[in-house]
Structure 1
């Protein structure tokens, strides 16, 4: 069974991660690329012999799956387009700009009888997978605290600075990674969050926060801490920690390379292993396409992205109230 995938988006993550990863998966055919300009679509599609589109409705006709790798203001309409045509969808983080949009996306795929996968790569990072095996084997005892740090010097595109397009700042862009790491190892839903955030570096470009600290409490009592920013001078930061009663684990995801060159954008080059492998994108997309073939449940269905947004929603309320806020998860029986 060949699975045809049309990619919505022709920016960095589409051209550097998703498209080359999809091209390596047996039985997957990239049928097209959708972008706002035909020139961008053609440039991204050409290496894969795919067609270029500017109209999503036209692009989905020859595809089985719509892979949304575009700014957050595109996520809801793209997923609804996929559902309207009876196609499955994969959507990059954050799932949506708001909890309401996420619920609308989930309702659309449920009504259509299709599936929505949440393309959060962190659980698929090889080092994270190995750490999870160690935790599940009991090598560090019982997990009681988790911590994640995700920082960059600035977003890689200007649209991030526009809250109307992006939906928010560093919490929605960066903390979603940290929250998913913490949930993956705490193995329980987040029940409450306290957030503090401000804009220190990019106040002349955006009203959104560029620096955020979140402390979360899980349903099983585990404590979590997330440090996320667009304000980190120099290179990127991507560190994860798991603390157990008999040991601890540190994953330093970006210092795996012996050579680090920091450019004006703040990104680190080169990596000895392509990002689509080292950051789990290939394994993630392979998992999604296998789930489509077999009908098996995914470890990252759309409801996972919705749950992360529920935490961001509570964190936003915490910023306004100055208090710890409860997380409103979906009730049993609601759309998933």
Structure 2
């Protein structure tokens, strides 16, 4: 590894422009070495905005980097992540790692074979206040039940969200877009989920209701949606147990600071060789649980 980690960015969409590229370009431990995208003109524009260069192919970008950050649809991300790991590149992935267990397992296995570091970015898990709360509740233990509401209005009537044009979100819906966020909070606090016990039911539009039993005996539920009316949208996670009731703190800033912490986590994992709790193997577990829920929906 060089003095700073050379990271290339795969992707040029709204999330890459809003979060990934600015954070990578500004981070003191990172050099943003370039951008590749499926639209060369968009890659060139994003690279120019951050004083770097665009690459014609992912493999050319891999050759110029120590690591890659990915801001692409999950089905595209998975295949490129396998190629990048095989090339010896560390991975800063987005959630979900993939929307099939086969693809997610291929990523996790590629990371293990290559011995590279991996971190999957979950905004709540890496948020300053949220991350501290998750760690505190996991240490406290004694939780009996939990409920998560993760309600977005991306596809609600009158929405002007830049993510409303995302084909994969429209196809896969809230289960796969915001479901990973809910699991990233519930799993570290309540423990792993018994996959065979996962149940799910459909609500309005893309809304999904999940019921989960955790390995330690706790039960949790989640309501997930990208079609909630604007006034009803929001995030809330409530835990109930021997210590009483506690609620996930509200985010006070945008996703940028959380992504900076994810970059920090990758740098630490590269330096120490220790896997991060939110690595590709955790990303696989999230995919397995969501795939079980999708199967339960029929």
State the 1:308 CA deviation.
0.7
Of the three residues 204, 211, 214, the one matched with 2:210 is: 214
Secondary structure of the residue aligned to 1:36 is coil
Q: After the TM superposition, which segments of 4 or more aligned residues of structure 1 sit over 4 Å from their partners?
A: none
SS of 1:146's partner is strand
Residue 224 of structure 1 deviates from its aligned partner by 0.8
Please give the alpha-carbon distance, in whole angstroms, between the structure 2 residues aligned to 1:239 and 1:176.
14
User: Is the contact made by 1:5 and 1:28 (CA closer than 8 Å) also made in structure 2?
Assistant: yes
Count of residue pairs the alignment pairs up: 285
**Structure 2 residue 197 is matched with structure 1 residue 175:** no
Residue 276 (structure 1) aligned with residue 256 (structure 2):
yes
Question: For residues 298 and 137 of structure 1, do their structure 2 counterparts lie closer, same or farther at Cα, with a shift above 3 Å needed?
Answer: closer
- What is aligned with 1:143? 143
Match of 1:312 among 282, 290, 295: 290
Query: Is the Cα contact below 8 Å between 1:185 and 1:242 reproduced in 2?
Result: no
Displacement of 1:232: 0.7
Higher fraction of helix: 2
Q: Work out which of the residue numbers 225, 237, 248 in structure 2 matches 1:240.
A: 237
Residues 97 and 274 (structure 1 numbering): CA distance in 2 closer, same or farther, change over 3 Å?
Answer: closer
TM-score, normalising length from structure 1? 0.79
Alignment of 1:1-336 (within 5 A): 1-135=3-137, 138=140, 142-154=142-154, 156=163, 157-160=165-168, 163=171, 168-186=172-190, 188-191=191-194, 192-198=197-203, 200-201=204-205, 210-234=206-230, 236-251=233-248, 253=250, 256=252, 273-277=253-257, 280-320=258-298
Name the SS for the 1:51 alignment partner: coil
Question: Does the CA-based 8 Å contact 1:92-1:120 persist in structure 2?
Answer: yes
List per-residue Cα deviations over 1:101-151 (Å, max 9, x = no partner).
11112222233332332222321112222323543564xx72111221112
Secondary structure of 1:86 counterpart: coil
Task: State the Cα deviation string for residues 282-321 of structure 1 (Å, max 9, x = none).
Answer: 112211122112212212110101111111121122222x
Q: Secondary structure at the match of 1:169?
A: helix
Structure 2 length as normaliser, TM-score?
Answer: 0.89
Cα deviations by residue, 1:74-121 (Å, 9 ceiling, x for unpaired): 112211220232211121011112001111122222333323322223
Does structure 1 retain, via aligned residues, the 8 Å contact 2:118–2:276? no
Over 3 Å counting, the alpha-carbon distance change for 1:80 and 1:132 in structure 2 is: closer
Flag structure 2 segments of 5+ consecutive residues without an equivalent. 156-162
Q: Kindly provide the CA deviation profile for residues 146-197 of structure 1, in whole angstroms up to 9, marking residues without a partner as x.
A: 221112112513313564xxxx2221111111112111211x1101211002
Q: Secondary structure at the match of 1:314?
A: helix
Counterpart-to-counterpart distance in 1, 2:249 and 2:91:
31
Residue 66 of structure 1, CA deviation: 1.1
Kept in 1: contact 2:130–2:249 (CA 8 A): no
1:153 touches 1:231 (CA, 8 Å); kept in 2?
Answer: yes
Relative to structure 1, is the Cα distance of residues 115 and 275 closer, same or farther in structure 2, using a 3 angstrom cutoff? closer
